[in-house]
Amino acid sequence: MEDDAPVIYGLEFQARALTAQTAETDSIRFLVGTQSLKFDNQIHIIDFDDENNIINKNVLLHQAGEIWHIAASPADKAVLSTCYNKTSDSRVVSCAAVWRMPSDWDSGNHESPDDSSHNPQTLELLCHLDDSAHRNSACVLWEPMGDGKRVISLADNHALLWDLQESSTQAMVSSTATLEGKGQLKFTSGKWSPHHNCSQLATANDTTIRGWDLRTMSQIYCIENAHGQLVRDLDFNPNRQYYLASCGDDCKVKFWDVRNVQEPVKTLEEHSHWVWSVRYNHSHDQLVLTASSDSRLILSNMVSISSEPFGHLVDDEELSEGEDNHQEDKSKEPLKDSVVSTYEEHEDSVYAAEWSSADPWLFASLSYDGRLVINRVPRALKYRILL
């Protein structure tokens, strides 16, 4: 099979929640959460065997309700969080919880992939991340590169910083931030910055993006009308501490320098419908994935605003060496941004896209009809970046 060919897996359930298993850096593994009103919901553990280009799956039951958001602990590969809907007193409530996979979840025999789906094991509930005062969790964020003991949940107009204790079986709110203003304000999404000692958070509510200092839980910047319509997702550039990407229902993807929020540094207008997800590659930050309700996934090469605008990492020493720098002639002109590839394997809204945490050239995307597609960065571009 050709190296760059996509690999497709059908879940047989509607789904919108996808994450890479962050703590797993040896195997290529993604977790998908289903949305079913009729059946018990499930977490599908998707292992990609890139030698043979095949997918192995295991299924765990998530009986609490339909899953809207899923995130994996950065420290413990058996631990994950979900935001899910459940009906209580004939009202739908959005809840959040931390779960552990059973220790022998992968003892199922991969040779007959259907075994695990006949009598799947159930996730073990570790703790709830909501209380009577804070309901309607939109998402749970784990501290980047952390020890798996700090999470943030965004619930209505509150950002709650939780400490997980007793092997994550207890969660205590250590501090909160609240959106103030007119009307019913509520967070739609957020991202915990990996920079500044993990002391900053970015959130989206309606068309506004805000930055928060987690030490004081106070607002540090605000981008009003960042998008013409609802902001759907945010991501921080892993290598440039002030750079933030956003996407939304105005079909646009925008890149911001949070030190100067008057104007975006760059705007992409390649999608024709709402953009649900934007993700920087963890190693090569010029590679940006976006997923949209236009059923397409787009890989862009945003090299001009990356940490390697001339095709190689630029630091002060290199610039001062001048005469000895053989790169000089080719580094005067920054490389041009471009769309690398548009992926059309989905036939429904693509709600999520994630880079693998084990292989920097590999990514997964998930559409609402339960189709998961695994793709690779085209080889020609990979070698151009590496060489």
pLDDT of residue 108: 54
pLDDT of residue 313: 61
Q: What is the C-alpha separation between 146 and 76, in angstroms, rounded?
A: 10
Supply the DSSP symbol for 380.
H
Mean pLDDT across the chain, nearest whole number?
89
| Model confidence at 317: pLDDT above 50 | no
Helices (H), 12-163: 115-118
Q: What is the C-alpha separation between 240 and 211, in angstroms, rounded?
A: 16
Model confidence band, residue 167 (pLDDT cutoffs 50, 70, 90):
confident
223-254 pLDDT, tens digit per residue, is 999 999 999 999 999 999 999 999 999 999 99
75-121 pLDDT, tens digit per residue, is 999 999 999 998 777 888 899 999 999 988 876 544 444 544 568 89
State pTM to two decimals: 0.91
H or E element that contains 220? strand 218-223
290-316 pLDDT, tens digit per residue, is 999 999 999 999 999 999 887 666 554
Yes or no: say if 245 and 235 are a contact pair by the CB < 8 Å rule. yes
Closest CA to 358 of 19, 112, 14, 22: 22
- Residue 366, Cβ neighbours under 10 Å: how many? 30
In order of their start, the domains of the chain are 7-106+120-306+334-386 (2.130.10.10)
Q: Percent of the chain having pLDDT more than 90?
A: 75
